[in-house]
Amino acid sequence: MTSVRAIRGATQASANTAQAVDVATKELLLEIMKENDLSPEAVISVIFTVSPDLNAAFPASSAREVGFGEVPLICSVEIDVPGALERTIRIMAHVESDRSKSEIAHIYLGAAKTLRRDIAQ
């Protein structure tokens, strides 16, 4: 049975540049889609957050370039917690899936794996 599921993920951009944000965002989104066997048509919406030091580009712009043109997208800034991982892009995607909650693959790439060791793949 198809249900609405939330998928979390995060990655770290290599720098605060539009190109680095673009590369990191696309890599994370495509990995989430692949590991959860999804197409953009199954995506209801995506919330992107970035750490306060990452302001060179909107991750949502990169998402539109990989098939998310009709998906509602929004970007926001994370709370500026001292010592938090720098240049971090986080995603919460709401999708339609036949997978159970325990079968959903939450994707944390590179240094962002330290954010959620309990669910990072």
Tens of pLDDT, residue by residue over 87-106, are: 999 999 999 999 999 999 99
What is residue 114's predicted lDDT score, i.e. its pLDDT? 86
As a whole number of angstroms, the distance between CA 67 and CA 118 comes to 30
Do the Cβ atoms of 44 and 94 come closer than 8 Å? yes
CATH number at residue 55: 3.30.1330.40
What average pLDDT does range 60-73 have in this prediction? 97
In a domain, 121, yes or no: no
pLDDT category, 64, cuts 50, 70, 90?
very high
What is residue 4's predicted lDDT score, i.e. its pLDDT? 98
In a domain, 93, yes or no: yes
Q: How many domains does the chain have?
A: 1
* Residue span of the structural domain in which 52 resides: 3-116
Q: Which residues of 72-93 are buried (b: 16+ CB within 10 A; e: fewer)?
A: ebebeebeeeeeebebbbbbeb
